[in-house]
């Protein structure tokens, strides 16, 4: 799938939804201002080289590269420099599992031992422990111990060795299904499930079914198969100097962190993933249906609250989906992403689906905390006003109800739309009290008319805007689950 095709799909989906944004120059200036964020981050974190990208409305709107891909020859980083993205690989492994699930070849709620026979020998920590499911592995709830940085050094483990490792049994941190605990080993098992189910190695399956169709031709699993002039070497900062890290893999643990990609390639993936929002009618992607793509960002296990993050200064809720972490906070709203960290590399991506925006960064220093710079960039984009949340169009039922609400206000009488009131409306608050409230508002605001542009929160609720003689009126409307549509809640507010 070409980047142009992905962009066209997103633009078509959002064309009737997106309100006018700030002038193009504001958008361009906002994007240009991100350079200083990443340059400052590089200096403070002693990063040899970095590339970042911003995808918006299906296009790579900005990509900038800084520093060097290797310190000896000083070859500069470009948008086509290949970086290892570490645990950002987990998204691809999860998507592969969902693709097999959609094909009827895999059940997420089946015991994982159905697909990996060696797991039948597991000794569980308690007699009442449930068997590990595929879903447990995909959401880090299998009960295995957090294995950073041990797992990061296992990328080269071969198939036979991995089989022996699993068959020998592994210790548990806790009973399955009791808590979130990040496990690279768990995602190596997801990779084995994909391999056994697809009857081809997970890397081949992901390449053929996801990377190839998306046109990600410069995304690989074997670092040494990439020409030396096109790849970033990895370094750690030690004793005020960069020390080159060994390059591991490919192997069985690559399912948790083995992908190597470029900014230009990865932008295709970000565009495609965002094109799954919003839900809509229309042709599906050949890679994976939109509802299954959206599934990776659905919280699958135990939620937590993260401390207030700067910039933005508000706490975030966090959980784990499938290969990504769904967040919600007071600045970015709903968003999701994932970091990647391996010896020599650090990366991060954030998706803001309600704005059709994705931001990512790759760097070649061990465990670079790229999430700090990526979040700062995301906050700047949102607070600029140049990347507004995409409006949801009014459903036919809400459009009709808006006219009824306009009649109610104009007449000053809730009974002007008697036939469209749900059974609870006049029981919850009487006619006299509702009409008295409307009279107060008419005295304050004067005559009002529906604004030309309206948007909704869903197909069943909206905050209607009215232009008035002396200000603006908002009307919060919620429909009842009835056919035909009726009004279960109406709140007027100046």
pLDDT tens digits for range 164-198: 999 999 999 999 999 999 999 999 999 999 999 99
149 found inside a domain? no
Judge whether residue 3 has pLDDT over 70.
no
Same domain, 428 and 379: no
Per-residue burial over 158-176, b if 16 or more Cβ lie within 10 Å, else e, is eeeebeebbeeebebebbb
pLDDT for position 220: 97
Same domain, 215 and 344: yes
**428 and 337, same structural domain?**
no
Does the pLDDT value for residue 382 go beyond 80? Answer: yes
How many distinct structural domains can be found in the chain? 2
- Order of all β-strands in the sheet with 325-329: 59-67, 49-56, 357-363, 345-352, 333-342, 325-329, 314-318, 304-309
Instruction: Say what the pLDDT of residue 385 is.
Output: 93
Q: For residues 444 and 357, state if they share a domain.
A: no
402 and 375 part of one domain? no
Q: Could you tell me if 380 and 406 lie in one domain? A: no
How do residues 274-320 score in pLDDT, each as one tens digit?
999 999 999 999 999 999 999 999 999 999 998 886 677 788 999 99
Residue 53 in any domain: the answer is: yes
CA dist 319 and 337 (Å) reads 11
Asked if 212 and 358 sit in the same domain, the reply is yes
Range of the domain at 61: 3-95+200-384
Which of these three, 329, 355, 384, is where a domain ends?
A: 384
Q: Among the three residues 334, 363, 384, which one is the final residue of a domain in this structure?
A: 384
> Last residue of a domain, which of 362, 384, 406?
384
Report the C-alpha gap between 344 and 83 in whole angstroms.
Answer: 10
Are 17 and 41 within one domain? Answer: yes
Q: Are 375 and 409 part of one and the same domain?
A: no
Query: Same domain for 378 and 415?
Result: no
How confident is residue 5, by pLDDT bands cut at 50, 70 and 90?
Answer: low
Work out the mean pLDDT of the chain and round it to a whole number: 94
> Encoding tokens for residue 303?
């939620």
Q: Is residue 326 part of a domain?
A: yes
Residues 6+ apart with CB under 8 A from 37: 373, 376, 377, 380
d(CA 363, CA 346): 5
Claim to verify: residue 403 and residue 329 sit in the same structural domain = no
221 shares a domain with 299: yes
157 within some domain:
no
Decide if 461 is inside a domain: yes
Task: Judge if pTM exceeds 0.85.
Answer: yes
- Domain presence at residue 165: no
> What is the CATH classification number for the domain harbouring 310?
3.40.710.10
């Amino acid at each position: 799938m070409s980047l142009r095709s992905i962009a066209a799909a997103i633009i078509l989906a959002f064309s009737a939804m997106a309100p006018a944004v700030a002038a193009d120059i504001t958008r361009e200036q906002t994007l240009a201002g991100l350079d200083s964020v990443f340059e400052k981050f590089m200096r403070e974190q002693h990063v040899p080289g970095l590339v970042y990208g911003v995808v918006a409305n299906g296009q790579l709107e900005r990509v900038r590269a800084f520093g060097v891909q290797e310190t000896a020859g000083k070859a500069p980083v470009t948008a086509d420099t290949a970086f290892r993205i570490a645990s950002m690989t987990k998204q691809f492994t999860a998507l592969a599992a969902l693709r097999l699930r959609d094909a009827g070849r895999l059940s997420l709620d089946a015991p994982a031992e159905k697909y990996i026979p060696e797991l039948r020998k597991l000794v569980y920590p308690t007699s009442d422990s449930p068997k590990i499911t595929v879903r447990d592995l995909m959401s880090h709830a299998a009960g295995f111990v957090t294995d950073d940085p041990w797992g990061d050094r296992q990328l080269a483990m071969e198939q036979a060795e991995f089989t022996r490792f699993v068959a020998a049994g592994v210790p548990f941190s806790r009973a399955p299904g009791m808590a979130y605990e990040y496990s690279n080993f768990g995602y190596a098992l997801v990779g084995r499930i994909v391999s056994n189910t697809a009857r081809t190695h997970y890397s081949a399956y992901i390449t053929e079914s996801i990377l190839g169709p998306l046109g990600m031709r410069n995304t690989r699993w074997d670092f040494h198969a990439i020409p030396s002039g096109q790849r970033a070497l990895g370094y750690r900062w030690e004793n005020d100097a960069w020390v080159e890290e060994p390059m591991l893999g490919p192997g069985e643990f690559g399912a948790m962190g083995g992908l190597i990609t470029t900014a230009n390639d990865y932008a295709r993936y970000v565009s495609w993933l965002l094109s799954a929002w919003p839900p809509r009618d229309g042709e599906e992607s050949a890679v994976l249906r939109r509802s299954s793509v959206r599934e990776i960002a659905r919280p699958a296990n135990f939620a937590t609250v993260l401390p207030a993050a700067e910039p933005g200064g508000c706490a975030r809720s966090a959980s784990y989906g499938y290969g990504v972490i769904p967040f919600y906070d007071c600045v970015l709203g709903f968003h999701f992403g994932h970091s990647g960290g391996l010896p020599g590399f650090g990366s991060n991506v954030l998706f803001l689906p309600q704005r059709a925006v994705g931001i990512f960064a790759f760097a070649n220093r061990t465990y670079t905390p790229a999430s700090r710079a990526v979040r700062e960039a995301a906050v700047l984009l949102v607070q600029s006003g140049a990347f507004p949340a995409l409006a949801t169009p009014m459903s036919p039922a809400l459009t009709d109800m808006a006219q009824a609400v306009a009649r109610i206000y104009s007449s000053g009488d809730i009974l002007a739309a008697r036939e469209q009131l749900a059974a609870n409306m006049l029981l919850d608050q009487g006619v006299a009290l509702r009409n008295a409230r409307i009279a107060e508002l008419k005295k304050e605001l004067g005559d009002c008319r529906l604004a030309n542009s309206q948007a909704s929160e869903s197909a069943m609720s909206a905050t209607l805007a009215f232009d008035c003689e002396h200000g603006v009126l908002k009307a919060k409307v919620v429909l009842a689950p009835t056919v035909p549509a009726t009004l279960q809640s109406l709140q007027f507010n100046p």
